[in-house]
Structure 1
Amino acid sequence: MHLTLGSHTLSARADRADEGRWAYRPDVDGLRAVAILLVVSYHVWFGRVSGGVDVFLMLSAFFLTRGFVRRMTGPTPVRPVTHLLGVFRRLLPAASVTLIGVLVVVWALYPETSWRGVWEQTWASLTYTQNWLLAADAVDYYARSEVPSPLQHFWSMSVQGQAFVLWIALLGLCQLVVRRRGLSPDRVVGVVFGAVFTLSFIYSVVRTATAQQVAYFDTGARLWEFAAGSLLVVALPHLRLGAVSRAVLGWAGMVGLLVLGMVLDVRGGFPGFLALWPVLCAAAIVASGTGESRHGPARFLASRPLRAVGRDAHALYLVHWPILVTFLVVNDRTEVGLVGGLGIVVLSLVLARALTWAVDQPVRSWRRADASPLVPVAVLTTAAVAVALPVGAWQTTSWVHERAVEARAQLTNPGAAVLRDPALAEIPTDATLLPLPTLLEAEWTQLERECTGEWATGAEELRGTCHETAHTARARHTVVVIGDSHAQQITAALLPWAQENGWGVVHLIKGGCSMGLDEPGMDELCDSWREAAVGLVEQVKPDAVMTVVTRSDAGEDDEKVRAGIHRFVDRMSDAGIEVLGVRDNPRFAFDMFGCVADAADPLDCAVPRSASLADSNPADVLARPGVHLVDLTPWICPDDLCVGVIGNVAVYRDDNHLTRIYARTLGRSLAEQLPAQWD
């Protein structure tokens, strides 16, 4: 009898503990509020990342797993497909309204140079692939932008959406095993997500150590944070902590969460093992609120103000970042200040409340009023079409305009040709400046295909950096353009001559890695890339190589020969390869394209040549047989003035790179400086 009573007592305690994890947790809503307030405040005032997003990722899996586990053995198991549709019905409408609002604001207030990037990120955000787009940009030298994206924060929504698809599939399999085998839901879920946690955590640590910028956006490196939320659901009934222990645990978690962003570089060190900090802090806070305790943080977190903010947390996350970025763009600032920041926070709270009231609450009410599976399909379709139609129409309209301008370009956009033939200067007053701002990203000079034949190499260092013109394999003569993005851009001036004379052109280009063999590169892999590239040239022995041999810098006293360029020239001479040494173009302390696009008169943006270039070409010291120097300065800075527009073509695409269009108009000037025997 005693044993039976003891058994019933233990069973009753277990039932109460189990019921506790299904009950509504107002303190967890408050925790969501703390997390979103940390995200917003750190973004607005500190320009840093707080770790609050990591808390959101863990809690989203916590709630999703809790709903599944509770029903796994009951009479109404979860239907995975229906549940998945329901999850996205909850998320997508508010996100779509935000995307539409951002499109309107960008069209009205942002520079046209940012439009194409916003279109691309709108599609990526709508399809929950924004994180992969940002991961690619994080390691792309050419993806730098002066204007921050108002949609960058959708990366975490994309990670969350991808994880939800995987989680519902795994939980559906767990439910199937539990119902067919009669196993414990906690045990099955614990094993499955314990394995996910282990594998993802190991991958995250390794990936963060080797490619942190990519790892930050990598879903695989984040799955363990979701798995931690699932494991917390399984662990809660088994926690046996006293009131004092729970209070200490909870407040320790709160303090740890609040100081995290001040102590760690979250953006630069996550999501490896350092991300355990916010995840464990959040777990400690959730665990501390599982029982009665007057001294823990649960009562504070369950307060009405925090629950109100927690209710709007999703909407607040959506709206705060576009508001912040728009403030910076419109005011041309990099910081908001105290007053500006308060205004941004207040406006974000107001718009978040409006978004929750106007979109989220009606969607929830419709769900409760109509359980038909057609409802989420209708909601998702409407939300997707509402975004796809305006962004698609905007892109189409822009494309039509671009083709019309392109058709008139030969007559209205002569570029450097006006410096050779003044008669061409009579450009119609309504002519459009090229390149169009929406096509600025297309202004990088790219060759047609990856290297083939003897230029194809298995060297890992050269992967993705070797390209050639389509006729290179058939050409009797070949010139290799080697070096950084400045060498890449001047290639556009070489291509007309190469095509006319039947020469093949090969690109060995890595952004930020010049042929100044003693220069520090912008990439830590520059030295190994340079050696592999030079080695390939020495092996194949083309007729000539072309590279930029000087370096100009805005505000510097003098332009200089690149450090170590002598060693490069010596190696080419030893291999019997002729060298075309091109003088660098000017660089500026501001975005020249942005300046001329906004200026009433492009001459307002002009800079004296002496501000960036030396009086005479420093590369003259390299002159020797087999070395041919090319100086295009008279056609880039006519009359010793470096202007942003020549012949109705923008000379620069940013603060230091020539546009592809203008560089191509330099073709005749470059051809005149090539050796006569090459024709």
Structure 2
Amino acid sequence: MRLTLRPQTRPSIDGRADEGRWAYRSDLDGLRAVAILLVVTYHVWFGRVSGGVDVFLMLSAFFLTRGFVRRMAGPTPVRPVRHLVGIFRRLLPAAAVTLTGVLALAWLAYPPTAWRAIWDQTWASLAYLQNWALAADAVDYYARTEIPSPLQHFWSMSVQGQAFVLWVGLLALCQLIVRRRGLSPDRVVAAVFGVVFAMSFLHSVVRTAAAQEMAYFDTGARLWEFAAGSLLVVALPHVRVNAVARAVVGWVGLGGLLVLGAVLDVRGGFPGFLALWPVLCAAAIVVSGSGDDGGRGPARVLSSRPLQAVGRDAYALYLVHWPILVTFQVVNDRVEVGLVGGAAIIALSLLLARAVTWAVDRPVRAWRRTDSSPLVPLAVVAVAVSVVALPLGAWQVSTWVKDRAIEAQAVRNNPGAGVLRDPSLAEIPADAELLPVPTLLDDEWTQLENPCAGRWSVDTETLFGTCFETARTARAGFTIAVIGDSHAQQITGALLPVAEENGWGVVSLIKGGCSMGLTEPGMDERCDAWREEAIELVERVVPDAVMTVVTRSDAGEDDEVLRPGIELFVDRMGDAGIPVLAVRDNPRFAFDMYGCVIAADDALDCATPRAASLADENPALVLERPGVDLLDLTPWICPDDLCVGVIGNVAVYRDDNHLTRTYARTLAPSLAEQLPSRLG
């Protein structure tokens, strides 16, 4: 059966308004300029976000939908796959140049501790998945956040890329329905994206209220902003207001957009319903300029030559400004950039944006116009990906080879706490590298290999993902459960070699920020529920002993103290007949100890007196009773009452308060000496 297409008249109340939505809109280029200037200004000087990104999200869907709707029922419909490849042909080259530039900056100016995160985020940004990587870090207690990511701003590009894939698919479906059923493109698009708007907006409000940090990067919580742009395309022909009203609507929209960042803390409440503000403001400006406003609306200002110039480079400016800002902060070791520094950052960003547009974006556009072959966009995408992937992959592989060579010499070159027990081990080659190496610092958490099973199985959401055990636990005749927060987790590193030697099983019940101080505030309200369920699991299974950290040190002026409510925990274990191995906390610092030692000429420059963090007498002594054994590793962490960052060519700390897994394992003999002889 042959399908015959008949020319269709698009329903319109005002023919001029309908025709106007297809015309080139210089005022929208100006709106993009205003949005990017708000983004850059608020990032540089105020450390806040402005809502400008929300404008970009809506406008991107507006332009994409407009192109589809215009051709849906005509003789030359949009080819979805080719159109999608063309979108990324347009986006990827400038993004690839930016990513490669960030890699060069990282190699030249960033500490090696930041390299691995930048590598991972470069891959995520290249794959348009950066928003999900940042969402994971936002709720990750263990993520290092000393240095802001120079690629953090790629979250919105990732959301946009994911939305483009979905939008092209949905618009292709709309096009198919229109051409097979002879329906109005406007009505089909309005129905489809009306549903998307409603579902996404509801999800956004609920998600933002429950977990705002996750919602901020959640694509599903942002789709309604794209849907608003699509709905605006089909609504424009039906907007009938006089010139004065158009002008008023436009100025109100522009004014609302300009004051948004100053009035609302966008970071704390977005996206949610608050994101309606910038979306509606942008929509008001689009509506205002879509018809005759008598020259009294903002369209004339937005079409001015300066804003047109900035709008032309808006995409490149968004890409380059954030890495320049973060690099300035890293090089100068300060967050505030000041008036002069901020002006210099913006000026440099404008210059680089112009260069990227001229040298990258414009030639790619020109190539596409002179060669219509479908292979052109594929070639551009392939080259752009290669420009990033090849140097990044080479850097990672070469670093991996070097790191493994260093680790292979660890027994001879990195004895750690062993030098305090055997001075002969202190004869370390002068060229021996420090362990752990910076690029493997994120691996310095002790994590048991298997999720809890058998007697230790967990069936509640609260405990899920927090209970792990060693491979031999199920068949071991003796089991120790380590329970508590990240400071209990790090001591597991010292326990494991002892357990391996004796054939013991080890179970870890760990949740970051949630100690066993039963009246101690946790990192969130979920700690209380987690503590109770974890303790009930231990009471039900009755291991041969539990180990936890019972004191808390301080990097400030406060003295080391018992964890509030730790006596209640010890009493419950006593009532259940479970011996307690009560570990004293390690020192904490007001600075990143690992960062200090790798930057200092002499690691002793980073040392602090033991008394600056720990009490003169172990506060846990009051807990001493039958069934409670005190473990204090302070002499092997702060020898001679000096807390140093390096012992036996091993970094003691991975940050400002957590021991490295590498050093914790070298503490095993000292821990074994303090364990009561009745164990095992």
Counterpart code for 2:17: A
Pairing 1:262-661 to 2, within 5 Å after superposition: 262-293=262-293, 294-661=295-662
Name the SS for the 1:423 alignment partner.
helix
Q: 1:610 to 1:189 in 2, by over 3 A?
A: same
Taking a change above 3 Å as real, the CA distance of residues 359 and 146 of structure 1, as seen in their structure-2 partners, is same
Preserved contact between residue 557 and residue 611 of structure 1 (Cα < 8 Å): no
- CA–CA distance in structure 1, aligned partners of residues 575 and 12 of structure 2: 88
**Match of residue 125 from structure 1:** 125
Cα separation, 2, equivalents of 1:467 and 1:155: 32
If the length of structure 2 is used for normalisation, what is the TM-score?
A: 0.98
For 1:501 and 1:385, how far apart are their aligned partners in 2? 51
1:462 alignment partner AA: L
Q: Distance in 1 between matches of 2:51 and 2:16?
A: 33
Q: By how many angstroms is 1:85 displaced?
A: 0.5
- Distance in 1 between residues matched to 2:296 and 2:522, nearest whole Å: 56
- CA–CA separation in structure 2 for the residues paired with 1:485 and 1:523: 15
Counterpart of 2:417 in 1: which secondary structure? Answer: helix
Q: Partner of 2:197 in structure 1? A: 197
- The answer for the alignment partner of 1:5 in structure 2 is none
The CA deviation at 1:179 is 1.0
Map of 1:78-93 to 2, 5 A cutoff? 78-93=78-93
CA distance in 2, matches of 1:644, 1:544: 31
Structure 1 residues without counterparts, runs of 5 or longer: 1-9
For the Cα contact (< 8 Å) 2:128–2:159, is it kept in 1?
yes
Distance, in Å, in 2 between the alignment partners of 1:25 and 1:663 is 63
Match of 1:4 in 2: none
Structure 1 position 524, deviation (Å)? 2.3
Q: Does 1:183 align with 2:183?
A: yes
**Counterpart Cα distance in 2 of 1:173 and 1:432:** 59
- For 1:428 and 1:297, the matched residues in 2 are separated by 71
1:255 & 1:528 partners in 2: Cα distance?
A: 47
1:645 partner amino acid: V
CA deviations 1:501-557 (Å, max 9, x no partner) are 111101100111111111111122111111111111111111111000000011234
Instruction: Single out whichever of 577-586 and 554-563 deviates more from structure 2.
Output: 554-563
User: Does the CA contact (< 8 Å) of 1:247 and 1:297 recur in 2?
Assistant: yes
1:298-347 CA-to-partner distances (Å, cap 9, x unmatched) read 10111011011011010000000000000000000011111000000000
* Superposition deviation, residue 677 in structure 1: 1.7
Number of residue pairs matched? 670
Deviations 1:442-471 (A, max 9, x none): 001111111111111111111110111111
Question: How far does residue 14 in structure 1 lie from its aligned partner after superposition?
Answer: 2.9
Distance in structure 1 (CA, Å) of the matches to 2:118 and 2:16: 51
Q: Distance in 2 between matches of 1:193 and 1:648?
A: 60
Amino acid at match of 1:430: D
Where structure 2 has 5 or more consecutive residues not aligned to the other structure, the ranges are 1-9
The residue aligned with 2:206 is: 206
Q: Report Cα offsets for 1:193-235 as digits up to 9, x if no partner.
A: 0010001111111111111111111111100000000000000
Q: TM-score, normalised by structure 1?
A: 0.98
Within 5 Å, which residues of 2 pair with 1:25-40?
Answer: 25-40=25-40
Q: Distance in 2 between matches of 1:162 and 1:320?
A: 23
User: How many Å separate the matches in 2 of 1:322 and 1:653?
Assistant: 25
Counterparts of 2:441 and 2:566, CA distance in 1: 31
Q: Could you tell me how far apart the structure 1 residues matched to 2:17 and 2:260 are?
A: 31
Are 2:518 and 2:564, in contact at CA under 8 Å, matched by a contact in 1?
yes
* Cα shift at 1:92: 0.3
CA contact (8 A) 2:466 2:510 kept: yes
Determine what percentage of the aligned residue pairs are the same residue. Answer: 77
Structure 1 pair 11–617 and aligned structure 2 pair: CA distance change class (3 A): closer
Deviates more, 1:426-435 or 1:285-294: 285-294
- 2:261 maps to 261
For residues 268 and 151 of structure 2, what CA distance do their matches in structure 1 show? 20
Matched letter for residue 608 of structure 1:
P
Shift of 1:371: 1.1
Question: How far, CA to CA, are the matches of 2:13 and 2:63 in structure 1?
Answer: 23
**AA partner of residue 205 (structure 2):** V
Are the aligned partners of 2:546 and 2:580 in contact in 1 as well (CA < 8 Å)? yes
Residue in 1 aligned with 2:142?
Answer: 142
* 3-state SS of 2:630 partner: strand
2:48 is the counterpart of 1:59:
no
Letter in 2 for 1:674: L
Moved more, 563-572 or 248-257: 248-257
What's the Cα RMSD here?
A: 1.0
Name the structure 2 match of 1:219. 219
C-alpha separation in 1, matches of 2:506 and 2:616: 32
Deviations 1:626-668 (A, max 9, x none): 0000000000000000000000000000000000000110000
Mapped contact 2:12–2:238 kept (Cα < 8 A): no
Instruction: Please report how far the alpha carbon of residue 437 of structure 1 lies from its aligned counterpart in structure 2 after TM superposition.
Output: 0.4
- For 1:648 and 1:524, the matched residues in 2 are separated by 40
Shift of 1:257: 0.7
Match of 2:110 in 1: 110
Deviation, 1:11, is: 9.0
Q: Match for residue 4 of structure 2?
A: none
Note the C-alpha offset of 1:12.
9.3
Q: Is the 8 Å Cα contact of residues 45 and 337 (structure 1) preserved in structure 2? A: yes
Could you tell me how far apart the structure 1 residues matched to 2:128 and 2:487 are?
35
Q: Distance in 2 between matches of 1:454 and 1:503?
A: 16
* 3-state SS of paired residue (2:506): strand
**SS state of the match for residue 481, structure 2?**
strand
Describe the shift of the 1:137–1:11 C-alpha distance in structure 2 as closer, same or farther (beyond 3 A).
closer
Structure 1 residue 144, shift from structure 2 partner: 3.0
- 1:194 partner SS: helix
Matched to 1:187, the amino acid is: R
Matched to 1:628, the amino acid is D
Q: Secondary structure at the match of 1:22?
A: coil
3-state SS, counterpart of residue 122 of structure 2: helix
